[in-house]
Amino acid sequence: MSSPSHFVSRHLFGPGPCNPYPEATTALTRPLLGHLDPEFIAEMDEVCAGLRTLWGTENARTLPLSTTGSGGMEAAFVNFVEPGDVVVVGVNGLFGERMCDVASRMGAEVVRVDFEWGTPVDPVKLTEAHPDPKIIAVVYAETSTGVASDIAEIGRRKGDALLLVDAVTAIAGVELKADEWGIDIGYAGTQKCLGVAPGLAPFTVSDRAWERRVEHPRSWYLDLGMLGGYAGEATGSKRTYHHTAPTGMVVSLGAAITRILDEGLDNVIARHRAAGAALQAGLEEMGLELFAAEGHRLPDLTTVKVPEGVDNAAVRSYLLEHFDIEIGAGVGAYTDSVWRIGLMGPNAQPASVPLILGALKEAIAAVR
C-alpha cells in the first residue's frame, strides 16, 4: 500500500478535503521537529499569529488544536458547558444537529431552533428562543447545505450569551471577523479553504468566554486550561508540555497560512467568491437548480439539485472513474437529491469551473 505503481490523483471538488495548496504539501517533507524544539515553538507562535489574522481576532487564545474540525466542535462545548447550562442551537443542517448531540452529552439543556435545510438561521428567532442562555451556538457556513448565516446580526443580538460559531467551511474562504461580529468561541478545520490536509482544528476564544470557562472539563485532551501553556506566551501561561503536538501538520498549516497572506486574504476571499459565482451561474445555465436559498449561498460550497430521473451516486461514480473528480452527495433527507460541489483553497480558480461543468454534463447524459 505504500508504493503503488501509480498514484490515484483526484480533483477534490467535494465538501472537503480539497486539494491542498502545494506549499502545504511540500512543507510536510521538511525534516520533522520535536514539539519542544525552540524552532518549532517559534513556528507555532507564527501559526497562532497567522490564525488570528484569518479569524479576524486579537484573541490571545487562538491556536490549532490537535484534532480535526469535529474535535474542534467538541472542544468548543466541553470547555464551556456544565450540566444544566442552557445552550441555544440553530439547526439548519447536519452540523447544527451535531452541535445538539455534542452539547447534550455535556449535560446541557439544549434549546434547539430549527430552520428549513437550505435556508439560513434567522437571527431574531435564534436569539429570542430563550431569555438568558449561557451559549448561543450556530454554524456560519453549513457544509451540509451550502448556506451562510448572518453571524454579525446574531452577534449584535446575543445579549449576555457567549456566541459559539462553527467556521469550518468559512475560514480563509469567506469573510470572517470574529471580533467585529462578537464571536466568543470559534472552531474551524484545515481541510477546507485553508487548503491543508485534515488533522487540525484552528480555534479561538475571547477573554469574555475565557472567564466563563469550565474549570475542570470532562475532557483532559481538549482542556483549554492545560492547553494554555502549550499555545504559548501570548496566553500569559508558561509554556509547558501537555501532549505531543502534530508538529508536521502545524508546519504544513503554517506554510498554507503564509501562502494565503502573501496572496492577500481579501484576494483569496475574492478568488473564492469569483469561482463560486462562475460555477453557480454555469450550473443554472445548464438548467440545473441550486439548492441553497438565493442570497445566502456559500461561494466555496455549492449545492445543486439532482435532476429528476438521474441517479446521484451513478453520476458521482462516473465523475470519479472517468475524470478523477470527486463531488459530494447530499446529507440526511437530501442524500439522493442534492450534490455538493466545493471550490476551496487552490481549487477556487477559474479553471475548475469548465472542468466541473463539462464533466458533469457528460456524466448526467451518460447515466440518464
197-216 positions binding its own copies, by CB under 8 A = 197-199, 216
Name the minimum Å distance from CB 246 to its own copies.
4
Name the minimum Å distance from CB 232 to its own copies.
14
By the rule CB under 8 A, 145 interacts with its own copies: no
- Our CB check for its own copies shows the closer of 10 and 208 to be 10
- Answer for which of 41, 48, 106, 278 binds its own copies (CB under 8 A) is 106
Radius of gyration of the chain (CA): 20
- Answer for which of 64, 118, 182, 217 binds its own copies (CB under 8 A) is 217
Query: What grid cell was written down for 183?
Result: 464571536
By the rule CB under 8 A, 85 interacts with its own copies: no
- Answer for which of 112, 248, 355, 361 binds its own copies (CB under 8 A) is 248
By the rule CB under 8 A, 220 interacts with its own copies: yes
252-311 positions binding its own copies, by CB under 8 A = 254-259
28-47 positions binding its own copies, by CB under 8 A = 28-39, 43, 46-47
Distance CA 265, CA 269 (A): 6
What are the beta bridge partners of residue 205?
61, 185
- Our CB check for its own copies shows the closer of 152 and 198 to be 198
By the rule CB under 8 A, 163 interacts with its own copies: no
Distance CA 332, CA 321 (A): 25
The one-character DSSP state at 293 is P
ω into 307 cis (within 30 of 0): no
52-71 positions binding its own copies, by CB under 8 A = 66-71
What are the beta bridge partners of residue 297?
147
By the rule CB under 8 A, 243 interacts with its own copies: yes
Q: At what angle do helices 69-78 and 94-105 cross, to 10 degrees?
A: 40
By the rule CB under 8 A, 189 interacts with its own copies: yes
Distance CA 41, CA 30 (A): 16
Distance CA 55, CA 69 (A): 15
CB atoms closer than 10 angstroms to residue 120: 23
Nearest to 191 by CA among 263, 142, 249: 249
The one-character DSSP state at 297 is B
Q: Which stretch binds its own copies (CB under 8 A): 73-81, 148-156, 159-167, 178-186?
A: 73-81
Name the minimum Å distance from CB 60 to its own copies.
19
Helix (H) / strand (E) element for 27: namely: helix 22-27
By the rule CB under 8 A, 166 interacts with its own copies: no
Name the minimum Å distance from CB 192 to its own copies.
9
Distance CA 346, CA 113 (A): 35
Cell 445552550, residue located:
87
Name the minimum Å distance from CB 295 to its own copies.
28
- Our CB check for its own copies shows the closer of 106 and 360 to be 106
By the rule CB under 8 A, 101 interacts with its own copies: yes
By the rule CB under 8 A, 26 interacts with its own copies: yes
By the rule CB under 8 A, 191 interacts with its own copies: yes
By the rule CB under 8 A, 147 interacts with its own copies: no
> What residues contact residue 53 under an 8 Å CB cut-off, 6+ apart?
261, 265
| Cβ atoms 368, 310 nearer than 8 A | yes
Q: Which residues are annotated as a binding site for substrate?
A: 340
Which residues sit in the known binding site? 340
